[in-house]
Structure 1
Amino acid sequence: MSRIVLISGGFRGQGGSVTRPALAPLDGTVLEIRDIPRAAVAGMLAAGELTLGDGTGPDTAALLSERVRLLARLTEIDATLAARGHDPHDRGTDP
């Protein structure tokens, strides 16, 4: 089981150097990180850079953010299908 799960958002494609890579999360990025001692993130919690969930899964804000992203992607897919002469609402499997 993975200890880090990307719930929503993402990271910029590159940053830092080969020896000192930098992770730069996009705005609204939500990660679920499991089994980490609270003391390891105490500074980030105090600075408001991190919030703790209750262990029941992604919070409402993360779900809403992902929903917006998915609906936008569906709109893009529908437009591409329509441009290719396909009914985007046709659930058939024919190419």
Structure 2
Amino acid sequence: MARLYSEKVMNRIVAQLPGVHDELGDTARRVRHSATRRLETHFHSGDARVTLTEGDVDWFVNLDDKAAMSIEFGHWVKGKYESPGHPKYVQGLYILSKAAGIA
């Protein structure tokens, strides 16, 4: 008789298979490389950088900067860049999203 596993249980099983962690690392390194290239084309000032973190099971590609959310998803600017009384919206760069192929 067939045995059914929940998605959570199946993820745990697959994550422990030989070679899975290494393959995820290879994929994460490709995403980091692509994200780094994308960030370099927009780098004007600041300390933004793309880093790679290895977890016990997963790998993480990170956009490290105090304004990482604004860089990735966009933000409103007030002050010298706005029209009188109208804040200006600065489009996000979607550095990680595009590098990972999800945007």
Structure 1 and Structure 2 fold alike (TM over 0.5):
no
TM-score between the two structures when normalised by the length of structure 2: 0.28
- Larger fraction in strand: 2
- Larger fraction in helix: 2
